[in-house]
Structures are given as C-alpha cells and as structure tokens.
Amino acid sequence: MPTYSASETLDLPVASSETAGFPTVLRGLRGRVVGFAASAVWMVFGLSCWWREDLGDWTRTNEVAIGALVIAGVLLVASIAGLWSERAAALVRHRAPWLVVLGAVFSVWEVATAKLGWLPLPFFPPPQAIVEVFTDDLPKLLDSVISSIKLQLGGYAIGAGLGFITGVSIGWSRAVGYWVHPLLRFIGPLPATAWLPIAFFAFPSSWSASTFLIALATGFPVTVLTWSGVASVSNAYYDVARTLGAKPSFLVFKVAIPAALPHVFVGLFMGLGASFAVLVVAEMMGVKSGLGWYLQWAQGWASYSNMYAALLVMSLLCSGAITLLFKVRDRLLIWQKGVVKW
C-alpha cells in the first residue's frame, strides 16, 4: 500500500528552511501594528508642542516635546524588533493600546490648552505646566510626599494590626464577640472623618490625631473581613486537627488564620483605599505638611498645576501600595494558585 506524507495528504506545501522565517514575519505584522500606531501618536504629541507659540509662559515645552519624541522612537524600535522577536512583540502588544490612548489624550490636551486655549486657564494647565512643578517645586513636593508616607504607614500599620487581632478574637471567641460586636456596629459604620473634632480635641497633636483617624478607617474593614474569614472556616479542618492532637493555640495559628487569609487581604485592600481618603482630609485640617496640606496650599494660591501634580503623585503612591500588597498576597497565598484563578 502506498504511503503519503502529511503534506501530500492535506495538500499543503512544506516550508523550506529558506521560507521558514517568512510566516514568522507575517505573524509579527498582525497584532504589532498597534505598536507603530503608538509611536505615531506620541510623535504627533511631540510635534504638537512645537506647532505654534504657547499662549502662556511655560518653560518646559521643549523638554516635553523631546521626551515625547524619544518615547515615539523607542516604540518604533520596539515595534520593528517585534517583527522578529516574539518577546519584544509581546511587550509591545501588552502596553501599546494604553500608550496609544495616552498619546492621543496628551496631544488633545496640549492643543486645547497651550496652543488654542479652548480650556480656560488656570483651571486647565497644559502638560508642560505639570512638568514645571516636578522640576521647579520638587523639594517642597518631595517633603510633602515623605510626610504623607510616614503618616500613612503609621496609621495603616496600627489599624491593620489592631483590626486583624480584633477580627481573629471575635471570630474565635464568643465572649469577645459578645462585648466587641456592639461597639463595631456603633463605631464602624460612621465615616472616620466624622470623628475629626473629637480626635483633634482628645489627642495632644494633629499628627497623633491624624494617625488615629487613618487607623480607624483601616481597622474597621480589616476587622470585619478577618472576623468573617475566621468564622467561615470549615469545622472539618478543626476536627481533623483535633484528631491529630492539636491544641487550641495550634487551631488558631495553624488552621483558622491561614484559612482566613484570603478574607484578611480583602479587608487590607479596602482599608488601604479608605486610609488614603482620610489621609488627605486629615492633612488638610491640621497637619502642617503632606500632600493634603500641599493640595490646600496650591488651591489657596490658585496654582492648579501644583494641585494636579500632587493628585498625580497621590495616585501613583496608592497604585504602588496596592501593587506591593498584591505581591505580598501572592507570596503568602501561593498555595491558592491552581485552585483560584488570579
């Protein structure tokens, strides 16, 4: 019986070594066009900075234009490299859509503010005005960032620690739950900012009062979610551990807490967002430094470019904190991989 090769049976040509790279190039073209589009959009943004004279006196227009053109060049080189390198193509494919959107937004922002004045000043400063803040007012901004980080970390750590201990205690002990649960129902639903007058009266300094408010905003969600996690642990886990001779301390630290960690991290994420909101309000009310104070100072002088720069820094700080918390969660809950889709 005659035998046929796979190519003869399916009537498909066999790729030779000379043409083996050609399909790779064709596959590289598909899905990589967005990288060239991102490069073109950022080039448009850079050229728009030089399109005509600025309507205001901003000193960083040339730097912004050069930076945009450098980004456009990097994207162009990465897109060309992606035609032959799958790794470079994957990087471009993943980031290019957002880079297209950002480049388009910056281009419209530049034209509508610095060039044509469609958006009124000083409420809508151009991109180069924001860059000026980071170059000319950097010492004051950095000092505010450092003060906010110190205050945020202190309050968040205290609130998360006390909330975790309280949640474990309520979930494990009925006696503790009997006394603490009514207090949670009374204090927890109230926003932390509602306690501003009492906090600034009861504590000796605005710093300690702000720390208390941040800890309060963090502690409630951590307490409730930790309590829920401990209370939802299956009794079968405890029965198996007791059968093997486990003591109560082992049941708490080796069974209840590890099983409740997914709930704990949900509470930590919720507390992080709440603590940042309280941080801004607390620094506006009494603290003499920090990003909240910087926002109030910029608003008082109608310096909206400084205000937007501070908001951008706050957003980056919050995003960085969330990313760090995700890393810690992935490290501690590595046993969940394969069970829960991340």
Q: Is residue 32 within 8 Å of residue 100, measured between CB atoms?
A: no
Mapped onto helix, strand or coil, the DSSP state of residue 203 is coil
Q: Is residue 122 within 8 Å of residue 295, measured between CB atoms?
A: no
Residue 32: predicted pLDDT: 66
Q: Is residue 54 within 8 Å of residue 126, measured between CB atoms?
A: yes
Q: Is residue 288 within 8 Å of residue 144, measured between CB atoms?
A: no
Mapped onto helix, strand or coil, the DSSP state of residue 234 is coil
Residue 19: predicted pLDDT: 42
Residue 308: predicted pLDDT: 93
**pLDDT surpasses 90 at 102:** yes
**pLDDT surpasses 70 at 336:** no
Q: Is residue 305 within 8 Å of residue 132, measured between CB atoms?
A: yes
Residue 337: predicted pLDDT: 63
Residue 81: predicted pLDDT: 85
High-pLDDT (> 90) share of the chain, %: 44
Residue 338: predicted pLDDT: 53
Mapped onto helix, strand or coil, the DSSP state of residue 163 is helix
Rounded to an integer, the average pLDDT of 20-37 is 60
Dihedral sign, Cα of residue 146, residue 148, residue 154, residue 160: negative
Q: Is residue 149 within 8 Å of residue 143, measured between CB atoms?
A: no
Spatial distance between the Cα atoms of 179 and 168, rounded to a whole number of angstroms: 14
Mean of the per-residue pLDDT values of the chain: 85
Tens-digit pLDDT profile for residues 250-303: 888 988 999 899 999 999 999 998 998 898 888 877 677 888 889 888 888 888
**Burial of 327 (C-beta count, 10 Å sphere; 0-12/13-18/19+):** exposed
Beta bridge partners of 337: 340
Tens-digit pLDDT profile for residues 114-138: 999 898 888 899 999 999 999 998 8
More confident of the two residues 237 and 107: 107
CA gyration radius, the chain = 28
Residue 324: predicted pLDDT: 93
- Residue 274 half-sphere exposure toward CB, CA atoms < 13 A: 26
Tens-digit pLDDT profile for residues 224-257: 999 999 988 888 888 888 888 888 888 889 889 9
Nearest to 89 by CA among 25, 42, 44: 25
Spatial distance between the Cα atoms of 231 and 165, rounded to a whole number of angstroms: 14
User: Which one-letter amino acid corresponds to residue 227?
Assistant: W
Beta bridge partners of 340: 337
For the chain, domain boundaries: 17-132, 138-336
Rounded to an integer, the average pLDDT of 186-205 is 84
For 38-104, the DSSP string reads HHHHHHHHHHHHTSS--SS--S-HHHHHHHHHHHHHHHHHHHHHTTT-HHHHHHHHHHHHHHHHHHH
Dihedral sign, Cα of residue 215, residue 220, residue 226, residue 227: positive
The pLDDT-based confidence of 201 (bands split at 50, 70, 90) is confident
Dihedral sign, Cα of residue 37, residue 38, residue 41, residue 46: negative
- Residue 223 half-sphere exposure toward CB, CA atoms < 13 A: 23
Spatial distance between the Cα atoms of 331 and 225, rounded to a whole number of angstroms: 20
Residue 223: predicted pLDDT: 94
**pLDDT surpasses 70 at 8:** no
**pLDDT surpasses 80 at 22:** no
- CATH class, domain 138-336, is mainly alpha
Q: Which residues contact 19 (CB under 8 A, 6 or more apart)?
A: none
**pLDDT surpasses 70 at 31:** no
Spatial distance between the Cα atoms of 264 and 253, rounded to a whole number of angstroms: 14
Residue 6: predicted pLDDT: 45
**pLDDT surpasses 50 at 5:** no
Tens-digit pLDDT profile for residues 161-181: 999 999 999 988 888 888 888
